[in-house]
Chains A and B, each alone.
Chain A
Amino acid sequence: MKYLKNRSTLKLFSKKCTGCSTCTEVCPHRVIVMRDKKAFIQDINACMECGACEINCAVDAIFVDAGVGCASAIITGMLNNTEPICGCSDNSLNGGCC
Chain B
Amino acid sequence: MKESEIVKNPSQNECGCTQMQNSSCCSGEDNNIKSLKWIIGNVNTPLGPVKKISGDWSRKDSLEQIKSRISSFRMNYTVDPGLYAIGDPDENSDIFVSSNYKLSFDILRKELHGLNAWIIVLDTKGINVWCAAGKGTFGTKELISKIKQSRIANIVRHKKIIVPQLGAPGIDSPQVKRITGFRILFGPVRASDIKEYIHNGYKATEVMRTVKFTMWDRFILTPMELIPVFKKLPLFALIIFILFGLTPAGIIFKSALLKGSPYLIALLAAALAGAFLTPVLLPYIPFRSFSIKGWIMGIVTIGAIKFSTPLFNFNSPLLTIALFVFFPLLSSYIALQFTGASTYTNISGVKREIKIGLPFYISGTIASLVIIIFYKLFQWSIL
Contact assessment for A1 and B348 in the assembled complex, using a CB-CB cutoff below 8 Å: no
Q: How far is the CA of A98 from the CA of B352 in the complex (A)?
A: 42
Candidates A78, A83, A89; contact of B14 at CB < 8 Å: A83
Q: How far is the CA of A67 from the CA of B140 in the complex (A)?
A: 17
- One digit per residue, 1 when the CB lies within 8 angstroms of any chain A CB and 0 when it does not, for chain B 133-162 equals 111000010000000000000000000000
Q: How large is the interface on B (under 10, 10 to 19, 20 to 34, 35 or more residues)?
A: 35 or more
Candidates B169, B204, B339; contact of A70 at CB < 8 Å: B339
27 CB contacts below 8 A, A to B, read A1-B283, A3-B288, A3-B345, A3-B349, A8-B349, A25-B165, A28-B189, A47-B346, A50-B169, A51-B9, A52-B165, A52-B169, A55-B9, A55-B170, A68-B11, A69-B340, A70-B350, A71-B290, A72-B337, A74-B351, A83-B14, A84-B15, A86-B340, A88-B15, A88-B127, A89-B20, A98-B26
Contacts of B16 in A (CB 8 A): 85
Say yes or no for A30: interface residue by CB 8 A criterion.
yes
Candidates B9, B25, B337; contact of A97 at CB < 8 Å: B25
Contact assessment for A51 and B169 in the assembled complex, using a CB-CB cutoff below 8 Å: yes
Q: How far is the CA of A3 from the CA of B283 in the complex (A)?
A: 10
Q: How far is the CA of A54 from the CA of B189 in the complex (A)?
A: 18
Interface hub of B11, B17, B20, B131 (most chain A Cβ within 10 A): B11
| Closest chain A CB from B168 CB (angstroms) | 4
Nearest neighbor of B185 in chain A, beta-carbon distance: A25
B interface, CB within 8 angstroms of A: 8-20, 22-23, 25-26, 72, 75-76, 127, 131, 133-135, 140, 165-166, 168-174, 186, 189, 204, 206, 209-211, 213, 282-283, 288-290, 336-337, 339-340, 342-354
